[in-house]
Structure 1
Amino acid sequence: MSSLLSTLPLHQPTLPNILLSLLTALTLYLLTLALYRLYLHPLSRFPGPTLAALTYLYEIHHDVFTTPNGQFATHLNTLHARYGPIIRCSPDEIHVQDSAWFDTLIGGPGHVRDKWAKANRANGSPGSLASATGHELHRMRRGALNPFFSKRTVDQLETSIRAKTEKLCAKIAEYAREEKVVELGTAFTALTLDVITEYCYDKCQNCLDEEDFAPRWKALMMQLFESTPVAKHFPIVAQTLASLPRFVVKYLNPGFVPFFEAQDLIQDQARQIWLAEQKNPSKPTSEDERPKTIFHGILNSNLPPQEKSMQRMADEAFVLIVAGGETTARVATVILANLLQNPTLYQRLRKEIANVMSGPELPSTRQLEDIPLMRAVVQEGIRIAAPVTSRPMLIAPNEEMRYKEWVIPRSTPTSMTLQSVLFDPEIFPSPHTFDPERWIRAAEEGKRLDRFLVTFSKGTRMCIGTNVAYAEMYLAVAALVARFDFEFVDFDMKRDLEVTRDTFVGMPSKESRGVRVKVSSVVK
């Protein structure tokens, strides 16, 4: 019998058979996954497009493969118009469009909100406050930074912001004498970067001292945000680039070289301070005393040892520079561009500012905040600029969230788009019109429009640098309005400033030339 069996042909697996088996297994897996997502998933009963329920490729298509890219945030408006205020926008995510529900999403005292890990894919700094997914980790990291960004601390350090604003004005006065064109976005980015780098790291970048306001930094920011849609959906691309030698990155994508060079500079500073603290630890500061730098604040905090590594400090620093630089610069640019389109409002604001000025010195931020028109201009600018276009994606791990008759299962990623609140016509009639008067009318009528001013989000996940941003905007806008008259140079609002893409911050069309102006007169 054994000799007979030995003569039978053996069927060895061949490569085509192996591939066929793998293809069959993959097909069965995908079919099973599709059936689960459509009929058995906890979100299967929520309205929304079938393709969005089936696959993340639906979102990827609108963000990465459309022209221009970054269109999913806009497409969500189309979906809500078709399916209603609550939709399933991806296999695992619920999106709500109802301004009154925003407070429920972000939670309040006693309501824990974690951040969905998917929201951090485009963030190349995993050790930062912005990347903290868990509620407790976020609370702990934020606690170490709070001394830098309280209203009281910012008021005490307004002198530094005022000095940088004066330097900006001096530079613009030079441009006036030479009849040179100023690109306002680049000028404001130079200001905000100089403020945030000196304020947080005691090492000013000195962009305001460079020719044309150091445009390479503005270009770096734009390059960084341009890559966000791809990095968000394909994080391995950014991770691979980061792991490559710099000369290879320069060959593949030269635009990323300044980005990695900036990271290297910050990591080097973090390393120097970390090593110095190991040899000679500085004394912990009191609650009323601000540490010298963010790095010292982290090292002298009550954070556990793993939260005080060199890499985590560098991650924190890099995100604060990126977030603190471009978002505030965009708001200031939008404010001034809209004021210039309304000369009557521009002159009226100048008179209001002049009434509280004593000589050439700028009023304090507190004085500017007390001018109703100035406050209204800043509030309206913050609203209509809507610099952050990425949607907050939060999870309620300990409770079910409810929207009307809908019960959102516990731990379901749920999001809202900030723009849907900021441009809600029920709250802000003619929402795309720059109308500071709406804030003055609301105040006179006792209405709290500011509860819907969610530009910097709200609650425990609110932007930590909000107080610094407000101080920069009040001082910079007031200084330029009080001292200069401008005229546009080949400017088109729709082409050059209107947001057309979601790249974490709102980006205008690729044809944008920025907000280019010339100084037509200097106010004596």
Structure 2
Amino acid sequence: MSSITLRDALGNSKTSGIYITLIALAALFIYTLYGAIWRLYLTPIAHIPGPWFAKLTFWNEFYYDVVLGGKYTWKIADYHAIYGPIIRINPFEVHIMDPEFHEELYVHSNKRKSNKWFWSMRMFGQQDNSAFDTLDHDKHRMRREPWNPYFSKQSVSRLQPLLIQSCVNKLCDRLAEHRDAGKPVIMTYAYACLTVDVISEYSFPAGTTYLDQPSFDQDHYQAWMALSKISHTLKQFGWLYPFLSSMPMWVTKYTSPETYLVLQQMELLKRQTTEIIARRQGTSDYKESTGRPSLMEAILDSRMPSSEKTIIRVAGAAQIAIGAGTLTSSHALKHATYHILANPPIHSKLMSALEAAIPDPDAPPNLKQLESIDYLLAIWFETLRNFHGVTHRLQRICPDRSLHFQNVEIPAGTPVGMTSVHVHNNPDIFPDPYAFRPERWLPLASEGQRLQRYILAFGKGSRQCVGMELGRAEVLTGLANVFRRFGRGMRLKGTERVRDIDVCYDVFNPMPSRESNMLVVEFGK
């Protein structure tokens, strides 16, 4: 009797398990089906066209950006050709391809609020640590306030002769050493050493000194690019960066050397922040400030509450500034240098303009004088258009009101993005967009002024890149000095535009083909 009872009990247990499994599968099916119906037909943005598989799931974006390594930017353009200027590109996001709409999307704070989208901000690993990756509009304004005077045009102009010119002089000294030794230079690395030394001195009192080294450091540039290359993966799998950050440093060093370098820099920034706070409290003999302002000190001196001045917050802000300041400006210098050397008429015009404006190459002009060289400025604007600055779409969320594109309503709370690549390559605005033509910006007072409104390399509106003036000063100072001192003897060595320069992949930052040999230059006497 007892054995029969046990058998029945076991049978009932198996039956119950089957029922529970079937119920769970049915619930999952219903949930999935409802989710699919919602995303395709019931969501407030269901009326906006687009491919059904993009509306249904993020796996479409995953394929183009993770599997193919950053190609969704160009696939989005294909979708626009089919579905029109406003489309859905994933279950929640709307994308617009109309160059005139950017002034409606990227607005200043006095017009309306602009939030960022949490899902997209995951691509930078940390989130809500700095002004850049802050989601909420009002919190961003508070966090941005200490940065504004620090990166203003007046501050950059004041520091250009002391800091930027000093670093450019070191760069030229290293280039002269390579010239005298008959050694070519990978300018991609040389420019990255320049820009990281500048932005690190801006960010914290004891900056990097890569330009003091006989050769140009490669590891930290490769580390930032490696982190940029996995940005799409970090976005799709939000747990990944916290997981990598939580591992012991010795494990990360052997499993992901590039990530280790970035995390190592974060630890350095944390230590410097700790020392600055301790010095201010009189509990450290940490060396006094150089007399130049630093981003860390600007945050600590601000009116923000103490909760915004924690070690992780201040160090995180400095790390974002260093990463952005290193890559964007160095890529601009790389692109400009290639196109100048690859186009003899442009090279000749620039050299004539520089020699007229800078009679003595050992007595370089200040920023105001550099900005009076029209052809140099025309090269700067054409470089921004050509390398795009940021190739990924920049989404904005209007939290409290609807937006309208033509006759289409976009409900409040919807992430809406545009992409610089699509605007900068628009032939109606920039005829023959593939050609590098500084002349299209001349005269600057009329044609140049008209075209500048279509440059999205630094973003627009209240979330525009705070380091725009610093980047401009770096590029103008770098190009003017390098070409004035070495321009007549500079020539490309094996660098090809399609393979080494043109933007082929979007990893938030622009990336050339994976076969790229970078920008290599020889310096003749």
Q: Could you list the per-position Cα deviations for residues 260-310 of structure 1 after superposition, in whole angstroms to 9, with x for gaps in the alignment?
A: 2111111111121123334479xxxxxxxx973222211111101111111
1:359-438 alignment, distance < 5 Å: 359=360, 360-438=362-440
Q: Which residue of 2 aligns with 1:31?
A: 33
Number of aligned pairs? 508
Q: Which residue of 2 aligns with 1:465?
A: 467
SS of equivalent residue, structure 2 residue 191: helix
Report the AA paired with residue 398 of structure 2.
A
1:442 deviates by 6.4
Is the CA contact 1:151–1:467 (under 8 Å) kept in the aligned structure 2?
Answer: yes
SS of equivalent residue, structure 1 residue 194: helix
Report the AA paired with residue 356 of structure 1.
A
Q: Which residue of 2 aligns with 1:265?
A: 268
Corresponding position: 1:510 with 2:503: no
Report the AA paired with residue 175 of structure 1.
H
1:218 deviates by 1.6
Match of 2:204 among 193, 196, 201: 201
Q: Please give the root-mean-square deviation of Cα atoms over the aligned residues, in Å.
A: 2.0
TM-score by length of 2: 0.93
Match of 1:223 among 204, 218, 226: 226
Q: Which residue of 1 aligns with 2:166?
A: 163
Question: Which consecutive residues of structure 2, in runs of 5 or more, have no partner in the other structure?
Answer: 285-290
Q: Which residue of 1 aligns with 2:126?
A: 125
Task: Give distance in 1, aligned partners of 2:476 and 2:449.
Answer: 23
Task: Give distance in 2, aligned partners of 1:279 and 1:19.
Answer: 65
Q: Could you list the per-position Cα deviations for residues 141-177 of structure 1 after superposition, in whole angstroms to 9, with x for gaps in the alignment?
A: 1101112101111111112101111111111011001
Deviates more, 1:185-194 or 1:230-239: 230-239
Q: Which residue of 2 aligns with 1:286?
A: none
Corresponding position: 1:519 with 2:519: no
Corresponding position: 1:497 with 2:498: no
Q: Which residue of 2 aligns with 1:182?
A: 185
Q: Which residue of 1 aligns with 2:73?
A: 73
Report the AA paired with residue 264 of structure 2.
E
Task: Give distance in 1, aligned partners of 2:239 and 2:64.
Answer: 19
SS of equivalent residue, structure 1 residue 502: strand
Report the AA paired with residue 301 of structure 2.
N
Corresponding position: 1:254 with 2:257: yes
Task: Give distance in 2, aligned partners of 1:224 and 1:119.
Answer: 15
Q: Which residue of 2 aligns with 1:321?
A: 322
Report the AA paired with residue 501 of structure 1.
Y
Change (3 A) 1:7 1:213: closer
SS of equivalent residue, structure 1 residue 407: strand
Q: Which residue of 2 aligns with 1:285?
A: none
Deviates more, 1:127-136 or 1:6-15: 6-15
Task: Give distance in 1, aligned partners of 2:444 and 2:309.
Answer: 46
TM-score by length of 1: 0.93
Is the CA contact 1:225–1:505 (under 8 Å) kept in the aligned structure 2?
Answer: yes
Task: Give distance in 2, aligned partners of 1:294 and 1:209.
Answer: 23
Change (3 A) 1:448 1:52: same
Task: Give distance in 1, aligned partners of 2:344 and 2:7.
Answer: 96
Is the CA contact 1:125–1:316 (under 8 Å) kept in the aligned structure 2?
Answer: no
Deviates more, 1:206-215 or 1:407-416: 206-215
Task: Give distance in 2, aligned partners of 1:347 and 1:153.
Answer: 33
Q: Which residue of 1 aligns with 2:100?
A: 100
1:251 deviates by 3.2
1:141-160 alignment, distance < 5 Å: 141-158=143-160, 159-160=162-163
Is the CA contact 1:140–1:303 (under 8 Å) kept in the aligned structure 2?
Answer: yes
Is the CA contact 1:291–1:297 (under 8 Å) kept in the aligned structure 2?
Answer: no
Taking only the aligned residue pairs, the percentage that are identical comes to 32
Deviates more, 1:111-120 or 1:307-316: 111-120
Is the CA contact 2:107–2:460 (under 8 Å) kept in the aligned structure 1?
Answer: no
1:446 deviates by 7.8
Question: Which consecutive residues of structure 1, in runs of 5 or more, have no partner in the other structure?
Answer: 1-5, 282-289
SS of equivalent residue, structure 1 residue 453: coil
Task: Give distance in 2, aligned partners of 1:172 and 1:317.
Answer: 29
Task: Give distance in 1, aligned partners of 2:448 and 2:251.
Answer: 60
Change (3 A) 1:25 1:322: same
